[in-house]
Amino acid sequence: MTMNTRVLLASRPTGWVEEANFRIERTALVQPRGGELLVRNHFLSLDPYMRGRMSDSKSYAASVQIGDVMTGGTVGEVVESHHPRFTAGDRVVGNLGWQAYAISTGEGLQKVDAQIPLSAYLGCVGMPGATAWVGLLEHCQPRAGETVLVSAATGAVGSVVGQLAKLQGCRTVGIAGGAAKCEHAVRDLGFDACVDYKAGQLHEDLKRALPTGADCYFENVGGVVMDTVLRHLNPFSRIALCGLIADYNLTEAYGLRMIRSLLVNRVRLQGFIVTDRPDLYARALSRLGQLVQEGRLTYRETIAEGLEQAPKAFIGMLKGENLGKQLVKLI
């Protein structure tokens, strides 16, 4: 009998996530019925938003319940189908959770083009890439010659933001944790400069990297980083806010001390969730796929081997140990 491996939420974390908050379970594989299909997942995406789903606090999406499979994006292959839109062998991307196999009704599941590596559909040609596209082009709306600043610059979202900004003719500056990540941002991703926030002099280093200030800021981090960046914004600058990872494991939010900058500089700040705009989402994925195929958009991945490693890899991602997109390879 084929068995399915799943990772369940065992308990809600207080402060930092621990491996004990998860439980790995092996159960008999359920067979699809009429209108359903069985998918074998090849890759699992690990993303910062999942930390919020582990909490029971009010948010834009429902929490994972204790004992349920952890939510998460996956890409894989249809093994068996009783669904009119899918056949065995189709490659599909969806939100099938932290498990090796999944039964789906087809809702939210999309076929993908085999010309692009499967894993990319969870990164630069997936939700993170679409987040970068919508946040930068819809909410920041940078103009050629302006300066775009992005935090978590070598992560799944930030790395795409920086490259898209360069394609718009902008000067692009990143913020990342560590000299190696900053070197990658400049050498491999094409950033004009990158500031290492772990060096301990973020304000001074930003001042040097932003001699004329920042016109657009793409925020993934929050906390001290965002508070410091607020001191370097230009009048009428724009902020696209899609993540606050610095706060996700705190028992008390950091808050903002330099919020007066928003008023003094007449800053436009837009928080957004990329799935709110399915029209832009689909358009972004199409264009991002073209850029990858043309070799104009590059990406890096950090891959953990085996579903059992997902909890440890997730905690490492929250601590910034990954370079590029954090994935778990399931087969």
**Fold match between 3-122+300-329 and 127-275?**
no
Angle, vertex CA 132, rays to CA 236 and CA 90, nearest 5: 160
Residues 6+ apart with CB under 8 A from 179: 196, 199
Is the CATH number of domain 127-275 3.40.50.300? no
Domain extent listing, the chain: 3-122+300-329, 127-275
Q: For position 253, what pLDDT does the model report?
A: 87
Give the integer Cα–Cα distance in Å for 110 and 106. Answer: 8
Q: For position 218, what pLDDT does the model report?
A: 98
Q: For position 1, what pLDDT does the model report?
A: 61
For 255, the 3-state DSSP assignment is: coil
Note whether 47 and 71 are within 8 A (CB).
Answer: no
Give the integer Cα–Cα distance in Å for 155 and 326. Answer: 8
List the chain residues with pLDDT less than 70.
1
- What CATH class is the domain 3-122+300-329? alpha beta
Give the integer Cα–Cα distance in Å for 5 and 330. Answer: 10
Note whether 296 and 288 are within 8 A (CB).
Answer: no
Note whether 175 and 149 are within 8 A (CB).
Answer: yes
* Cβ burial 186-218 (10 Å sphere, 16+ → b, else e): bebbebbbbbbbeeeebeebbeebbeebbbbbb
Q: How many helices (H) and strands (E) does the chain have?
A: 9, 15
β-pair partners for 268 = 238
Q: For position 57, what pLDDT does the model report?
A: 87
Dihedral sign for Cα 95, 316, 134, 111, please: negative
